[in-house]
Amino acid sequence: MNRRSFLASPVLAAPVLTGLAPAVFAAGERGPVITTGDGIPHTPEEYSDLLKKLSGGITPDSYSREGVVATLEAKVAAALGKETAVWLPTGTLANHLAVRILAGDKRRVLVQHECHLFNDCGDCCQTLSGLHLIPLGQDKATFTTTEVEDELQRGDSGRVAVPIGALQIETPVRRKNGESFDLAEMKKIVGWARQHKVGLHLDGARLYLAAGHGTTTVREYAAMFDTVYISMYKYFNAASGAILAGPKSLLDDLYHTRRMFGGGLSHVWPFAAVALHFFDGFEERYRGAVACSERVISSLNEDRRFEVRRVPNGTNIFYLRTKNSDATAFRKHAQDAGFRLGEPRDGWFSLNVNETWNRASSGEIMDRLRKSLG
């Protein structure tokens, strides 16, 4: 199944957001559990209302610098254990600029065959930066150290040596339904890259989801890489945006390159303020949502009227079907009961775990699902 089809210290003297209620979704709060995305969907009206609530404490930015943007950058950098961070309008640009910087004059970049940068960005690295992306591990979330070593030998053995400048890993992998890159193999590859002086970038768009479903923290993931990208819209619910974190020696002047690529937007505070609002306390809230979903999955497995399928080494996506009920009717009844499902495919629903799973207890969710069987 295609996942897309379902879809630190502040740098300012005063905090940018003050006196605001935390973005907590407690069990029993009114509102539906929505299983069709990584975050909390907002209508234009809801997003506007949230900005109005936040507006009294927002210090605007100037061309994506200072103000609330600088506060968010500092918070994310500190959370990831990095020296600095830079706001960028999209993850596409964040990944592109990261591997561009890390590769330098060594133009070859190793990536996953299934990664976003290789498949969904219109050959931006090749066209705009003259980089050569080399995909590894076709149809897998994880490529191996052996594949990396083979590519190194191939590049060194030609009549003209072509060294590898950078290596990117995406985890979790969207095109593999949220499957994580194997951690043991990741550590081996990181060791290899350090030995061969190859720059390391982590496409961690959904890194906080991976951490919420495993025992490795975001800081532990980030420590293995020179640069890390985190999405600001997938589950921090901004209308757009990305943060790229890393050492000051690489990122301090990146705003010049950002502007060169057309990414120095004049005002991004409507994005950054919302991302900052949901960033605070997210890890704890998401752990609560994961715990609730695991209890629901356990109950579903015990009920013979349902069937659940998990993604191997997966994160926040699982699949559900009913054994003796019409899927379309079940979906409608579930929606009426406050549990929103996407369109079924071959009878299976793809469910994403996100913060809205905190809006009801696991028992309440199971009651809604059982009653939806008709």
- 15-24, 59-68, 134-143: range with lowest mean pLDDT: 15-24
Instruction: Give the length of the chain.
Output: 374
Element holding 254 (H helix, E strand): helix 254-260
DSSP per-residue string spanning 54-115: HGGG----BTTBSHHHHHHHHHHHHHHT-SEEEEES-HHHHHHHHHHHHHTT--EEEEETTS
CB 231 within 8 A of CB 92: no
CA 297/CA 318 separation, integer angstroms? 9
Averaged over 164-183, what is the pLDDT?
A: 98
* Residue 30 pLDDT: 62
- pLDDT computed for residue 23 by the predictor: 41
Topology adopted by domain 58-280 = Aspartate Aminotransferase; domain 2 (3.40.640)
Q: What is the pLDDT of residues 219-239, one digit of tens each?
A: 999 999 999 999 999 999 999
Third-level CATH fold of 18-57+282-374: Aspartate Aminotransferase, domain 1 (3.90.1150)
CA distance 336 to 92: 37
Residue 362's pLDDT is what? 97
pLDDT at 20 over 80: no
Average pLDDT over residues 176-202: 98
* pLDDT band per the 50, 70, 90 thresholds, residue 209: very high
pLDDT at 15 over 80: no
Tell me the domain boundaries of the chain. Answer: 18-57+282-374, 58-280
What is the C-alpha to C-alpha distance for residues 195 and 81, in angstroms, rounded to an integer?
22
> DSSP E strands: which ranges in the chain?
33-34, 84-88, 108-112, 132-136, 164-170, 199-203, 227-231, 242-246, 306-310, 317-322, 339-340, 349-352
pLDDT recorded at residue 374: 82
pTM value > 0.85: yes
Round to whole Å and give the CA distance between 60 and 57: 10
Task: Specify the pLDDT at position 1.
Answer: 42
Strands 317-322 and 84-88: unpaired
